[in-house]
Amino acid sequence: MKKQSKVIILLRMIKLVKPLTGFMIMAVFFGTMGFLAAEFIPILGGFAVINALGGNTCFSLKTIFILLPILAILRAVFRLSEQRTNHYIAFTLLAIIRDKVFKALRKLCPAKLEGKDKGDLISLITSDVELLEVFYAHTISPICIAIVTELLMCVFIGYFHPLLGVVAMAAYLSVGVLLPIIISKRSGTMGDDLRAKSGELSAHMLENIRGIDDTMQYSYGNVRLYEITEKTNELSKKQGLLSRLTGTNMALANTMILISDIVMLAVCALLYQNGKVGFDGFLIPLIALMSSFGPVTVLAALGTTLQSTVASGARVLAVIDEVPVTEDIAGKEETDFTGAKVQNVSFSYGNTDSETKIESNQSEVLKNVSLDVNKNKIIGIVGKSGCGKSTLLKLLMRFWKVNEGEINISNKNIEEINTDNLREIESYMTQETILFKDTIANNIRIGKLDATDEEVIEACRKASVHDFIMTLPNGYETEVGELGSTLSGGERQRIGLARAFLHDAPFILLDEPTSNLDSLNEAVVLKSLKESAKEKTILLVSHRQSTMRIADEVIAMDGGRVS
Ligand SMILES: Nc1ncnc2c1ncn2[C@@H]1O[C@H](COP(=O)(O)OP(=O)(O)O)[C@@H](O)[C@H]1O
Ligand SMILES: [Mg+2]
């Protein structure tokens, strides 16, 4: 992640508001008018007092009593309109930002999602984006509203005497600018720490739920319970600290306001004594200042959240900026499949930080690997677990880029083939079939969205899963639980195979497709594969000798080399 200065992050976040500038101006207008309406209620009261004492003002008592309820109603209407506009802006922007994040993730997959920071990504998509609501609904426009409102108040107060305007300006600046800076310094990363701790706790709880079987089996419960208590205690300690800090911040703000009021009182009295202002010039500016700290106290409260908002913004922007390991390719000539060739390929996962381009010296997974995949043949790859079989398939899918050597499909460098084209040519069955929360039929149709029922059934027969599906209560329309957890490993795997059969691509890459199958089902699947090979080319990774029976050629991989 590139480190950007906070100011740049803030500016970039603000720039995102551009399409909604009109709404932002409306929100600032409503907010300013709302505050002014509220502030002028006590100010008019001041005028009423002057009137009652026999002084002369520009308002008659009657006008004042008509104006007061109107101002009260306007206050409510403007405040509501401001809140609505602000939240409209915020949620529209969140939708835009989510869209950007998902687009970025689509480009970054699958390499990015293989990494260790999956949990982080989830919290980015959910809570970080969510937290930006605070920024767009409760930060930008309040700042603008405070500036406009308090400038107008300075002018109003300064109208009685310029010096009073200056005093008011100093008061607003100290509460609205100086105080947030002090508070933000004092709270430091506390908001962030709190979020990190609560993220840890929820990740831990999720793990507890997922791992309940293992926890019970090995009587690991007490340890996990102890960890929950630890994490909860840490969290509540942080929460306690933060709320105490918020309390002292409030006290600080109120003290500053009080001091400002006293200074104003002193200056007003001084000017009145010296005949520089009349009685109205003594009373009204004082009331005006006392009643007009609303907009700036909102800013003072921002001091505690701003740090974490910026941190969230930085994380979201970093994902949007991240350069994928492999960019999608488009605009090249379309290609049919005529065979694949792996030539002297070396590969290590290394450091994928595309900004620094620094390759960490992670050990090479593949060393100088070469192999030919001729059309309409079944090539088997065997090798110890961890020797790089799956990695080779991922390179053939161009999920990652080779470090050295090259991969050719149909005599073309894989880097020269349109990504969509490549996906049509290749059908890839991963080691772990993921099922979506949907019907079995729809889960299989992922392989070919417009497949007819007959095609789906045919694919399932080939994958030896049709009979099983027919025993289910609703057959093909049976709903699969989330992540297919209601099905056994072997059933899931055969559904994955059905998907691959349905996809009907000329080049099929299968990663351990029979690892969870009993020999009966394996035999059916292998027979189907063998038949498919009349018109298809299959690259078959497996550690099972029985599966390798159907291969035309078996290649052994060992420590990243083929032999
Ligand atoms: N996304 C990844 N990032 C870093 N290392 C990885 C990644 N995926 C796999 N590896 C490592 O690469 C090696 C080869 O993995 P893999 O190709 O899955 O082996 P096989 O399929 O032969 O069991 C292993 O040591 C594994 O830990
Ligand atoms: Mg593997």
The alpha carbon of 91 and the centre of ligand 2 are apart by a number of angstroms equal to 42
Q: Are 115 and 400 in contact (CB under 8 A)?
A: no
Mean pLDDT of 391-412: 93
**Portion of the chain with pLDDT greater than 90, in percent:** 54
Q: Which two tokens stand for residue 501?
A: 């059969």
- Rounded to whole angstroms, the Cα distance separating 535 from 551 reads 15
Whether residue 349 has its Cβ less than 6 Å from ligand 1: yes
Write out pLDDT tens, residues 169-191.
Answer: 999 999 999 998 888 888 777 87
Mean pLDDT of 44-52: 92
Q: Are 11 and 128 in contact (CB under 8 A)?
A: no
As residues whose CB is below 5 A from the ion ligand 2, the structure lists 390
- Rounded to whole angstroms, the Cα distance separating 474 from 405 reads 50
Q: What angle do CA 170, 171, 172 make, to 5 degrees?
A: 95
Write out pLDDT tens, residues 253-262.
Answer: 999 999 999 9
Q: Which atom of ligand 1 is nearest to the CA of 388?
A: 17
If pLDDT is split at 50, 70 and 90, which confidence band does 354 have?
A: very low
Say what the pLDDT of residue 562 is. 62
Whether residue 385 has its Cβ less than 6 Å from ligand 1: yes
- DSSP-assigned beta bridge partners for residue 427: 508
- 219 pLDDT above the threshold of 70: yes
Q: What angle do CA 246, 247, 253 make, to 5 degrees?
A: 85
Ligand nearest to the CA of residue 556, numbered in listed order: 1
The DSSP element (H or E) to which 383 belongs, if any, is strand 378-383
Q: Which atom of ligand 1 is nearest to the CA of 385?
A: 23
pTM of the predicted model as reported, rounded to 2 decimal places: 0.74
- 11 pLDDT above the threshold of 80: yes
- Rounded to whole angstroms, the Cα distance separating 316 from 308 reads 12
Ligand nearest to the CA of residue 360, numbered in listed order: 1
Domain with CATH 1.20.1560.10 in the chain: 6-321
Q: In testing the pocket of ligand 1, which one of 326, 364, 391 has its CB within 8 Å of the most ligand atoms? A: 391
Domain with CATH 3.40.50.300 in the chain: 339-562
User: Could you tell me which residues come within 8 angstroms of residue 314 by beta carbon, excluding any fewer than 6 positions away?
Assistant: 1, 4, 6, 9
Dihedral sign, Cα of residue 467, residue 469, residue 471, residue 476: negative
Say what the pLDDT of residue 355 is. 43
SS3 411: coil
- 1 pLDDT above the threshold of 70: no
Write out pLDDT tens, residues 82-135.
Answer: 999 999 999 999 999 999 999 888 888 777 777 656 667 777 888 888 888 888
Mean pLDDT of 207-231: 90
Q: Which atom of ligand 1 is nearest to the CA of 391?
A: 17
Q: What's the fold here for domain 339-562?
A: Rossmann fold (3.40.50)
The alpha carbon of 419 and the centre of ligand 2 are apart by a number of angstroms equal to 23
The alpha carbon of 388 and the centre of ligand 2 are apart by a number of angstroms equal to 7
Q: In testing the pocket of ligand 1, which one of 360, 390, 393 has its CB within 8 Å of the most ligand atoms? A: 390
Ligand nearest to the CA of residue 513, numbered in listed order: 2
Nearest CA to ligand 1 atom 8: 391
Give the CATH architecture of domain 6-321: Up-down Bundle (1.20)
Whether residue 432 has its Cβ less than 6 Å from ligand 1: no
Q: In testing the pocket of ligand 1, which one of 108, 109, 345, 349 has its CB within 8 Å of the most ligand atoms? A: 349
Whether residue 295 has its Cβ less than 6 Å from ligand 1: no
